[in-house]
Amino acid sequence: MPFTSLTDHVESLLAGAAEEPLPIVAAGDPVLRRPAEPVDGQLPDELLARLIAAMRVTMHAAPGVGLAAPQIGVPLRLAVIEDAAAVSEELRAARGRVPQPFRVLVNPSYEGVGERQVGLYEGCLSVPGYQAVVARHERVRLRALDGQGLAVDEEFTGWPARIVQHETDHLNGTLYLDRAELRSLSSTQSSVRVRRWAQPTPQLASQELGFTLPSSD
């Protein structure tokens, strides 16, 4: 996308009230299936800062723990994450879910650290109403730039590692369903799902729906 059209697109997107969440693009839109282009000066600094602020507002309003720019129709390698991790101690222990401060990820990439993978239920703001089990690296090394353009080279583990993988995948045109165990796909509106599958781990779902979790679990 040419520089001026991307700038115009973002300006138009942000033309509404500053504190209003932006519409989230749903699965089926091509922007979610194309690799996003690296952030490399396409947007003026002030406009990029406004875009990041709007992404944070949108993530909070959804609510979610991460949001990638393609999810609001902007094809840039840019994501934001934040997680208060307001969950029970049982969930915290089982999923490795610990609080994450607000972070801006510019041009992120990740690689798995070690062989261990963990399967957990996962959802997506662009695929509303469903969750499915995804096996992901328990630990990853993230390389990116932060909101000030400083280099990030950091390891994440547990649920924060899952967030990093999920959001970075978005920037590669990959949805979580591409990696999911489809036999685990469950409606979040289903009383069966709420009663049976909303547990710290998907062990019961694995047994009753007939799918296999990573052996390292």
Q: pLDDT tens digits for 118-152?
A: 999 999 999 999 999 999 999 999 999 999 999 99
The tens digit of pLDDT for each residue in 43-96 reads 999 999 999 999 999 999 999 999 999 999 999 999 999 999 999 899 899 999
Which of 63, 173, 184, 28 lies closest to 121 in space, CA to CA? 184
Domain residue limits, the chain: 3-209
The residues assigned a catalytic role are 167
Is 166 annotated as belonging to a binding site?
A: yes
pTM: 0.93
Q: Where are the beta strands (DSSP E) in the chain?
A: 66-68, 78-83, 100-112, 117-122, 130-137, 139-145, 151-157, 180-187
The alpha carbon of residue 110 and the mean position of all alpha carbons in its chain are separated, in whole angstroms, by 13
CATH superfamily placement of domain 3-209: Peptide deformylase (3.90.45.10)
CA–CA gap between residue 160 and residue 167 (Å, rounded): 11
Is 9 annotated as belonging to a binding site?
A: no
Is the pLDDT at 39 greater than 70? The verdict is yes
The tens digit of pLDDT for each residue in 167-208 reads 999 999 999 999 999 999 998 887 666 667 778 999 999 999
Q: Which residues contact 111 (CB under 8 A, 6 or more apart)?
A: 140, 141
Is 170 annotated as belonging to a binding site?
A: yes
